[in-house]
């Protein structure tokens, strides 16, 4: 029997990443855990080795640090056992755009966008050469909802969705599966980073429920998985409406509504 591919999970010390590690270990996959907190990862790794018998490597890295990102990129390029990348690491920052410093905004984009994209870029050539591989990118429904007010965070998650959809179109025919997972409010430590009390929110999904639902979408090979959305037809209708506009973008003149004075 062919050995199952190893799974590299970023942000693996807690929350969504830790549950992904748990679930893939229980499916018999060896793991590479990536996060800043070595102690938490070592504790998780020890438990998963004991409970499941899989091999678990711990790779301490701060994905807002370019040197550490380079270290993880090298592991993705060189370790041919890794066949699944879970791009989960992400954060938020307190306040609205007017209160957020340029440094905080830059760090947020660096983790949620730049690091995620660089890791995807590092592993993609090997996946394409092999004609197989899978990438799970954790986005957010906030990327579809500017009304929620998390402007920069939402913009980073809109990027994750677009990137995943684009990679699906580009890499899918080459045997590479790309999934975007869009959680809503989930009980993780990100709320503390954003300066908000998760218990004050009207509806919060537990992490285990979120990941288990996302893995159902993974097994079905969905391109976009939205665990909290009850009616899948709403997303389908959204996609149909978006695609219906595509032929209308290729015009040699501005639309008639813009060729008359207001």
Q: Give me the active site residues, please.
A: 153
For 28, list phi and psi in degrees, rounded to 5: 90, 15
Minimal CA–CA distance to 84: which of 29, 42, 45, 35? Answer: 29
Give me the residue label for tokens 């506009």.
Answer: 245
Instruction: Work out whether strand 82-87 and strand 56-60 pair parallel, antiparallel, or are unpaired.
Output: unpaired
Neighbour count for residue 262 (Cβ, 10 Å) = 3
- Token readout for 131 is 């004609």
Residue in 212, 39, 80 with CA at minimum distance from that of residue 12: 39
């Amino acid at each position: 029997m062919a050995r199952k591919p190893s799974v590299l999970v970023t942000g693996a010390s807690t929350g969504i990443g830790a549950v992904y590690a748990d679930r893939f270990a229980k499916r018999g996959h060896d793991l590479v855990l990536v996060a800043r907190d070595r102690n938490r990862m070592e504790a998780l790794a020890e438990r998963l080795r004991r409970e499941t018998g899989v091999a678990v490597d711990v790779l301490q890295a701060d994905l807002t640090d370019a040197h550490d990102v380079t270290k993880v990129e090298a592991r993705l390029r060189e370790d041919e056992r890794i066949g699944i990348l879970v791009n989960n690491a992400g954060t938020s920052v307190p306040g609205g755009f007017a209160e957020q410093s340029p440094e905080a905004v830059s760090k947020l984009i660096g983790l949620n966008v730049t690091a995620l994209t660089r890791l995807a870029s590092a592993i993609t050539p090997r996946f394409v050469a092999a004609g197989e591989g899978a990438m799970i990118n954790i986005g957010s429904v906030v990327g579809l909802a500017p009304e929620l007010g998390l402007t920069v965070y939402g913009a980073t998650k809109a990027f994750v969705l677009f990137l995943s959809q684009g990679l699906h179109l580009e890499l899918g025919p080459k045997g590479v599966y790309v999934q975007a997972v869009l959680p809503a409010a989930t009980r993780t430590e990100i709320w503390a980073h954003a300066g908000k009390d998760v218990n004050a929110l009207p509806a919060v999904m537990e992490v285990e429920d979120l990941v288990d639902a996302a893995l159902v979408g993974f097994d079905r090979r969905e391109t976009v998985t939205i665990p909290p959305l009850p009616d899948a037809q709403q997303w389908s209708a959204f996609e149909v409406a978006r695609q219906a506009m595509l032929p209308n973008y290729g015009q040699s003149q501005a639309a008639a509504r813009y060729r008359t004075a207001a």
